[in-house]
Amino acid sequence: MIQSLNKIIHNPLSLKKKEFINNKLKDKPIILVGMPGSGKTAIGKIMAKKLNRIFYDTDQIIEGRFGYTISEIFEKMGEKKFREIEYEELLKIKNGNFVIATGGGAYIYPKSHYLINKYGFTIWIKASQKIIVQRTINNKNRPLLQGSGIITKVKVLLRERNPIYSKAKLTVFATKENKIKMLNNVIYAISKNLNDNKNG
């Protein structure tokens, strides 16, 4: 994994393309949405480095604020309170040259959904059921994907959430291994969308 990330970081992004994206999205965060385990954080970190933007992971921000894991916060405060906290943190970073990886349910919560769409350039990192199950089955910090029957739980969440995730400006399909290809797909999709809008 370390070797793979190093290859990505040193894979050059043309200065012209970087400047084009950052000029078009000046003070507008690129916000990644999608299911837990889709790869938002991994891709977000690399994308931020490539575009010389600051990276934020809302789950990590919240864990740092309260000193608990996301699962512990869910257990202590409940999901409704967590979604309000998530919204509060998104408000703080709604403007700026950032790349933001959101929690899986952020875009589902109506207040956060509105905020993200209003201020951010939204990208849905769309992962298959198989990839999500593989990446979350042993992860204890996915509060909605705990216990037995994870395949069924993922299937239900996908059915409920995909129509909402699809409202993002762009959709990029998650790949299982090739992070370089996925990053390039994301950058290409952003550039194409901005260029099409410029010409339209």
pLDDT score, position 113: 97
Which residues of the chain are modeled with pLDDT < 50?
A: 1-10, 141, 144, 200
Task: Write out the CATH class of domain 2-191.
Answer: alpha beta
pLDDT score, position 137: 66
pLDDT score, position 12: 54
φ, ψ for residue 107 (rounded to 5)?
Answer: -75, -15
**Residue 21, token pair as written in the block:** 């994206």
Q: pTM of this prediction?
A: 0.86
pLDDT score, position 177: 60
Residue linked to tokens 């309170």: 81
Helix (H) or strand (E) holding 31: strand 30-33
- Provide the b/e sequence for 140-174 (b: ≥16 CB within 10 Å): eebbbbeeeebeebbeebbeebeebbeebbbebeb
Cα–Cα distance, 137 to 20 (Å, whole number): 39
pLDDT score, position 190: 93
